[in-house]
Amino acid sequence: MSATGEKPVLPSAPDKPDRGNSRSIESGRGGLLIASCRAGSYLGARFAERCRHLAADACSCDTVDYLGDIDFRFSDSETCVRLEIDAGGKDVFVCQALHTPESQRCVDQNLMSFLIAVRAFREWGARRIIAVLPYLAYARQDNPTRLKREPTTVKLIADLLLESGIDGLITIHPHSKVHGFFGKIPVFSLESLPIFIEEFSRFRARSDVIAVAPDPGAAKFVAEFGRNLEISSAIASKYRPRREEAVVHEIIGDFEGKRTAIILDDMISTGGTIHALVKKLVEERKIEEIYFGVTHNLCISTALEKLIELHSRYNLRGVVTTDSIPQSGSFIGLPFANIRSLSEFMGEIIYKVHYDIPVMEV
């Protein structure tokens, strides 16, 4: 996103190569291998297919291989990774969903599988290993809770990823600024802003629409969204009296003549923040239609219940999220929910990183 507020676009396929250019994508680099652990197979297979289309469009002779479900568990519950093809000399992009709501595997198990997978590729000769983690778990634990003795857990996760052998990281809309935790390796921390701009483009330049940030952490994201759609924005302030409980104290912004609100956030877990904010918008600001866009939906049952209540009683007309986390059947079945696939978006990012094509800041 440019500082001038220029409208971002989804990354486009690279131009067809110039055969006389030394930077042609027909260079002598190793092939492209996209791999996934079991939890990330729904991502990896789609990303590989997108990269194959891009390679065909660019007349590239390079192969795009895919290797899925590379991890399994022994009877004693230990995880093992086994590579069925040779990864020597290849650029390997290892995909994983760290949070899988409908599986028996918790975040920590998915993370361990991923670390072992990276180590397997490192020990068996991969040229470069890029971690593809659309949802970066533990990113919320970037600072100890005030007056509490807690570790900076995201730094521990970064240390583990680095030690396993990654050469770079691709993630989308992490909860905190993660670049500083990963030392000198490149971190492609993508924004979901283009997805929401496209999704809500029908509201462009409408004077009765306002974008709302649920807390100061989302303020910049929502302000850029508002500038691109030429609508005003507001910000809510909240506090947490108890763990995982949110109280919206006030909403700062001009709501004169506003009847529609679009709330954007990076993630929804228990749904406490969105529930409190929507109720306040309806009861105090008399908003008639509310839409909610969130990058990561953790599919927690309490959030599902709150969204259903907000839809039936508090003017919540629609919810838009991505498949950075495999969405549960309950959420997919909501008649007012729209799940946006990251396949094209992140598949093109993988392709560009492989060929060292500059990745647009989004």
How much is the pLDDT for 6?
43
pTM, whole model, 2 decimals? Answer: 0.88
pLDDT band at 8 (very low <50, low <70, confident <90, very high): very low
pLDDT at position 245 is 64
Alpha helices, DSSP H only, in 96-179? Answer: 107-123, 153-164
Q: Report the C-alpha gap between 134 and 303 in whole angstroms.
A: 21
% of the chain beyond a pLDDT of 90? 78
pLDDT of residue 243: 66
Of 3-7, 96-100, 164-168, 197-201, the range with the lowest mean pLDDT is 3-7
Q: From the CB of residue 305, how many other CB atoms can be counted at a distance below 10 Å? A: 14
Tens-place pLDDT, residues 204-242? 999 999 999 999 889 999 999 999 999 999 999 877 767
pLDDT at 115: 98
In angstroms, rounded to a whole number, what is the distance separating the alpha carbons of residues 181 and 137? 14
> Has residue 126 got a pLDDT over 60?
yes
Residue 9: is it exposed, middle or buried by C-beta count within 10 angstroms (0-12/13-18/19+)? Answer: exposed
Could you give all domains of the chain from N- to C-terminal order, each with its CATH number? Answer: 32-190+343-354 (3.40.50.2020), 194-340 (3.40.50.2020)
Give the Cα separation of 162 and 149 in Å (integer).
25
Whether residue 67 has pLDDT greater than 90? yes
Per-residue pLDDT, 149: 93
CA-based R_g, the chain, Å = 21
Q: What's the whole-number mean pLDDT along residues 268-292?
A: 96
Whether pLDDT at 19 is above 50: no
What pLDDT is attached to residue 189? 92
Mean pLDDT of the residues in the chain: 89
Catalytic residues: 238
Judged against a pLDDT cut of 80, whether residue 138 lies above it is answered with: yes
